[in-house]
Amino acid sequence: MNFKTFSLHPAVAEGATEAGYITPTPIQEKAIPEVLKGHDVMGLAQTGTGKTAAFVLPILNRLINGPRNQVGALIIAPTRELAEQIHGEIKTLGRQTRLRSAVVYGGVGINPQIQDLKRADIVVACPGRLLDHIGRRTVDLSRLDVLVIDEADQMFDMGFFPDIRRILSHVPSKKRQTLLFSATMPKEIRRLANDVLRNPITVQIGITAPADTVSHALFPVAQHLKTALLIKLLGNTQTGSVLVFTRTKHRAKSLGEKLSKAGYRSTSLQGNLSQGRRQAALNGFRSGEYQILVATDIAARGIDVSNVSHVINYDIPSTPEAYIHRIGRTGRAERSGDAFTLVTKEDTQMVRAINGAIGSCVEQRTLSDFNYDAPLVSHGNKNQASANRPRPVVQRRAPKPRTNNQSSKGAFAFLSPKNTKPSDRRSNP
């Protein structure tokens, strides 16, 4: 199958070609024909599956012959990064259509957005700032044809549903086509879907299973040895761009600094940064200036960097859905990627939940040349055990042969021995 099958307007089809898309991804194959027919669609797909183009291409196709300078499509996204990513995809795919997209989110000046909105055909927005524009009457949604609610489950987690419902009261309901995308389908999303979608077609792409281009591994370790293990892991593994997740903003910042000290080109992305610095961190990661980006879940939502070879969960995520979201950042669009998760004894239950969600037992690995029994050092750097203190990495070392060095102590006590494998064979071919 190729994009010609959809009989898109030549200018829209040209956008897909310019973006380098040759074969539609499974979600595009299923969703595009339904959206083109004008159906409401409930898309159950995780990020990384090509879902953005699955709604952007039909929207461009619908608006290309319509009136200009009025908002025909509104896409609501939970974070600035995702909004920017969608806006970027519209610009790429819509280059030949001359349709204009405007992106609106908080944390930056409102006046440039007001100017952009005056001529916009498509608006990509985060809920809060959009309501601000609605209140100021700087956006007119009365002639909206298509509404997209993207990453609805994240939107719910972030407490945006009351805002979404307020926005809904400002958009026409009669002729509107509505598309709702979510990686998971908890009851709150089902309820929203019942309220906003009319006779929807459900398109589902592996709701709980992560992209099968990703291979997963757990690395059991004591909490105080996490940084040392991560640095060892990075030194032993051939990686491209690496995205590391931490639980808190503070941990993201301090880990980013530690990795820099250890000789890695690394930066961090967390909610305390100004929009300018967030964008600089993201751009630097995209361009390869930084090899490692340490981020929190919220900050990383919507990050689309196509060459992420490894996602490393420095802290295990708090839900299986968040795990799926995180690892959706690697193995994107048919590329392969690795997802490593550092786990402590306290994470046993979450490991079980993740295994349940992805329908298999994630393999456990150990590093042969790492001292898993190094004690916590009480003075100096509290989080760093001296026996594993990293030396600055100047050049990537050739991977060493490994043996199964499973320990029965400390963080390993909760592991099932038969499920523990030597480290990282796949990444060190």
Binding test (CB under 6 A) with ligand AMP, winner from 168, 201, 333, 393: 333
Helix (H) or strand (E) holding 140: none
Detail the DSSP E strand segments found in 97-151.
Answer: 101-104, 122-125, 146-149
In whole angstroms, how close is the CB of 125 to ligand AMP at the nearest point? 17
Q: Interface residues for ligand AMP in 293-312 (CB under 6 A)? A: 304, 306
In whole angstroms, how close is the CB of 358 to ligand AMP at the nearest point? 18
Cα 182-185-186 angle, rounded to 5 deg? 125
Residue 337 lies near ligand AMP (rule: CB under 6 A) = no
In whole angstroms, how close is the CB of 92 to ligand AMP at the nearest point? 8
Residue 331 lies near ligand AMP (rule: CB under 6 A) = no
Give all strands of the β-sheet with 101-104 in edge-to-edge order.
Answer: 101-104, 122-125, 73-76, 146-149, 177-182, 41-45, 201-205
Only segment of 49-57, 125-133, 160-168, 392-400 that touches ligand AMP (CB under 6 A): 49-57
Instruction: Fill in the amino acid letter for 412.
Output: F
In whole angstroms, how close is the CB of 387 to ligand AMP at the nearest point? 41
In whole angstroms, how close is the CB of 28 to ligand AMP at the nearest point? 6
Residue 230 lies near ligand AMP (rule: CB under 6 A) = no
What contacts 107, CB < 8 A, 6 or more positions away? 80, 274, 275
Site string for ligand AMP, 51-80 (x = CB under 6 A): xxx---------------------------
Place of tokens 């979510």: 182
Place of tokens 């298509």: 146
Instruction: Fill in the amino acid letter for 44.
Output: L
Residue 48 lies near ligand AMP (rule: CB under 6 A) = yes
Binding test (CB under 6 A) with ligand AMP, winner from 253, 301, 332, 365: 332
Listed in sequence order, the DSSP H helices in 197-248 are 226-236
Cα 422-424-427 angle, rounded to 5 deg? 155
Backbone angles phi, psi at 147, to 5 degrees: -120, 130
Comparison of 95 and 247: residue with beta carbon closer to ligand AMP: 95
Q: Interface residues for ligand AMP in 7-46 (CB under 6 A)? A: 21, 23-25, 28
Instruction: Fill in the amino acid letter for 105.
Output: Y
Residue 114 lies near ligand AMP (rule: CB under 6 A) = no
Residue 177 lies near ligand AMP (rule: CB under 6 A) = no
> Contact residues for ligand AMP (CB under 6 A)?
21, 23-25, 28, 47-53, 304, 306, 332-333
